């Protein structure tokens, strides 16, 4: 409890944090064991290390390797309460957040650190025929889809039908898309190579679709070209400057080219949580809140938006990317503002310290930038691994991921290749074994 000028006890300042991702977790830690009454609300009970989510989707890691219970992370902070619940609306004037179960929670300060969701650019009907990658449920669905596809192809009695299951279409040439394409290519060419008798997994075709002139457009052009070459060496068909015309149960229509496929993975774009619309404040084209320089919303210095939910520009007027380092720095910045009870006029603008970018394309190949330095190949791949291990939460997770990576590096095997649902008998026919 804090005290006023007369020494009388007052209610603690209540801080509500919405979201247990990188941004929300770092602001919570910054306010840990202080006089604040902190409440962190998330619809799941775990913090997810999203940069490695594609490795769960491609059977390299298990869900527990990249997720940690939020209560466990914050257990040592006695002033932080964790609530598992789903926010449905925010009333900024009454200072109340509403939960799906009907609860209302008031606040003195509100920090909105809600993540993003897949954007289909106005074609929401495509959701029925493609899988996104935003959470563990998505990753497990993709993992089973990939593994089941090889099983179904093994049972097909004609080559054209089998090709539908052995064609993998990844839409989106950003880091997630390129990393996913490289991982699936390695599954087909190395992991599965001796596991089947009626199909050759190496005959699988992986298509990476990007509407811009080049993949990994946020990287310098020389590195983008190098990544393109790496993918082609893995037999990934990279298609740039093309438009998706249609996605159906049968496959994908790209301009005038139709690719028959039962495996379409949408990693093309993001949009912010629709909950932000209940704030009644200006949003950008991706639905993110346009915040002031101190990350608060205009007219409400007690409400902050950070992470993927915030539209923030650097000193050159370029929007900051939705990346873990940005969210982490915003969380720590905001923690200092709240701990010192700084009024809006005394808050220094948020400044992002750009520490570069990294991406990997299969085993031993990667690209990276740090300030004006560009690097690639095995060195970039190694740096990527070290950085991701350091960012992982918890010693157990770091050790588990390291051991899994070493196992995969030495054997080319993936240890999480489990299928939990049965194969659909009406969608595949057993091969004639005579």
End-to-end CA distance of the chain: give it in Å, rounded.
Answer: 79
Collapsed DSSP state (helix, strand, coil) of residue 316:
coil
Taking only the tens place, the pLDDT of each residue in 407-433 is: 999 998 887 787 877 676 445 444 443
Q: Between the CA atoms of 115, 121, 126 and 132, what dihedral angle is there, to the nearest 10 degrees?
A: -30
Element (H, E) at 10: strand 9-10
- pLDDT, residue 269, reads 82
pTM: 0.89
| pLDDT at residue 396 tops 60 | yes
Q: Is residue 58 part of a domain?
A: yes
Q: Between the CA atoms of 188, 193, 199 and 201, what dihedral angle is there, to the nearest 10 degrees?
A: 10
For the chain, what is the mean pLDDT? 90
Domain shared by 166 and 109, yes or no = no
Domain shared by 65 and 54, yes or no = yes
- pLDDT, residue 424, reads 61
Q: Is residue 8 part of a domain?
A: yes
Domain shared by 176 and 46, yes or no = no
Taking only the tens place, the pLDDT of each residue in 119-175 is: 888 898 999 999 999 999 999 999 999 999 999 999 888 777 888 899 999 999 999
Positions marked catalytic? 179
The token pair at 349 is: 């603008």
Domain shared by 280 and 253, yes or no = no
Kindly give, in sequence order, each residue whose CB lies less than 8 Å from that of residue 288, ignoring residues fewer than 6 positions away: 272, 276, 305, 308, 309, 310, 311
CA atoms of 171 and 397, how far apart (whole Å): 30
Collapsed DSSP state (helix, strand, coil) of residue 326:
helix
Domain shared by 128 and 94, yes or no = no
Domain shared by 289 and 313, yes or no = yes
Domain shared by 9 and 135, yes or no = no
- pLDDT, residue 418, reads 78
Kindly give, in sequence order, each residue whose CB lies less than 8 Å from that of residue 390, ignoring residues fewer than 6 positions away: none
Domain range enclosing 166: 124-268+356-414
Domain shared by 225 and 146, yes or no = yes
CATH of the domain at 307: 3.50.50.60
- pLDDT, residue 12, reads 82
Domain boundary among 346, 373, 405: 346
Domain boundary among 295, 316, 346: 346
Domain shared by 375 and 409, yes or no = yes
- pLDDT, residue 303, reads 97
Which has more confidence, 49 or 321?
49
CATH of the domain at 224: 3.50.50.100
- pLDDT, residue 252, reads 96
Which has more confidence, 21 or 6?
21
Domain shared by 163 and 95, yes or no = no
Collapsed DSSP state (helix, strand, coil) of residue 115:
coil
The pLDDT-based confidence of 6 (bands split at 50, 70, 90) is: very low
What's the domain count of the chain? 2
Q: Is residue 404 part of a domain?
A: yes
Which has more confidence, 117 or 158?
117
- pLDDT, residue 162, reads 85
Q: Is residue 309 part of a domain?
A: yes
Helix residue ranges per DSSP H, 346-394: 377-391
CA atoms of 264 and 145, how far apart (whole Å): 10
The token pair at 258 is: 């139709």
Q: How many residues does the chain have?
A: 434
Domain shared by 220 and 170, yes or no = yes
The pLDDT-based confidence of 372 (bands split at 50, 70, 90) is: confident
Domain shared by 103 and 172, yes or no = no
């Amino acid at each position: 409890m804090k005290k006023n000028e007369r020494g009388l006890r007052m209610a603690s300042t209540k801080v509500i944090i919405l979201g247990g991702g990188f941004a929300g977790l770092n602001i919570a830690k910054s306010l840990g064991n202080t006089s604040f009454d902190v409440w962190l609300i998330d619809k799941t009970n775990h913090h997810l290390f999203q940069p490695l989510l594609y490795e769960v989707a491609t059977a390299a890691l298990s869900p527990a390797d990249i997720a940690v219970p939020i209560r466990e992370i914050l257990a040592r902070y006695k002033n932080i309460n964790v609530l598992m619940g789903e926010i449905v609306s925010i009333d900024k004037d009454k200072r109340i957040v509403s939960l799906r179960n009907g609860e209302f929670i008031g606040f003195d300060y509100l920090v909105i650190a809600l993540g993003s969701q897949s954007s289909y650019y106005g074609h929401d009907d495509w959701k029925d025929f493609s899988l996104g990658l935003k959470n563990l449920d998505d990753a497990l669905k993709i993992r089973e889809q990939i593994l089941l596809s090889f099983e179904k192809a093994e049972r097909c009695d004609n080559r054209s039908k089998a090709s539908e299951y052995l064609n993998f279409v990844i839409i989106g040439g950003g880091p997630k898309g390129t990393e996913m394409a490289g991982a699936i290519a390695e599954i087909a060419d190395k992991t599965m190579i001796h596991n089947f008798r009626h199909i050759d997994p190496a005959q699988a075709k992986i298509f990476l679709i990007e509407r811009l002139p080049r993949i990994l457009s946020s990287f310098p052009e020389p590195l983008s070209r190098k990544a393109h070459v790496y993918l082609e060496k893995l037999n990934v068909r990279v298609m740039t400057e093309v438009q998706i015309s249609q996605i159906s149960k049968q496959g994908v229509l790209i301009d005038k080219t139709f690719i028959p496929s039962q495996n379409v993975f949408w990693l093309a774009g993001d949009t912010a949580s629709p909950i932000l619309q209940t704030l009644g404040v200006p949003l950008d084209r991706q639905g993110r809140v346009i915040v002031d320089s101190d990350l608060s919303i205009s007219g409400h210095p007690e409400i902050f938006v950070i992470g993927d939910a915030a539209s923030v520009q650097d000193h050159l007027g370029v929007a900051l990317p939705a990346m873990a380092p940005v969210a982490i720095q915003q969380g720590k910045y905001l923690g200092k503002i709240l701990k010192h009870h700084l009024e809006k006029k005394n808050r220094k603008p948020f400044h992002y310290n750009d520490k570069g970018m990294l991406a990997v394309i299969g085993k031993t190949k990667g690209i990276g930038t740090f300030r004006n330095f560009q690097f690639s190949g095995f060195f970039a791949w190694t740096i990527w691994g070290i950085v991701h291990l350091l960012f992982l939460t918890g010693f157990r997770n770091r050790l588990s991921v390291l051991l899994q990576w070493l196992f995969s590096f030495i054997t080319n095997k993936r240890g999480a290749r489990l299928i939990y649902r049965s194969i659909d008998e009406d969608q595949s026919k057993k091969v004639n074994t005579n």
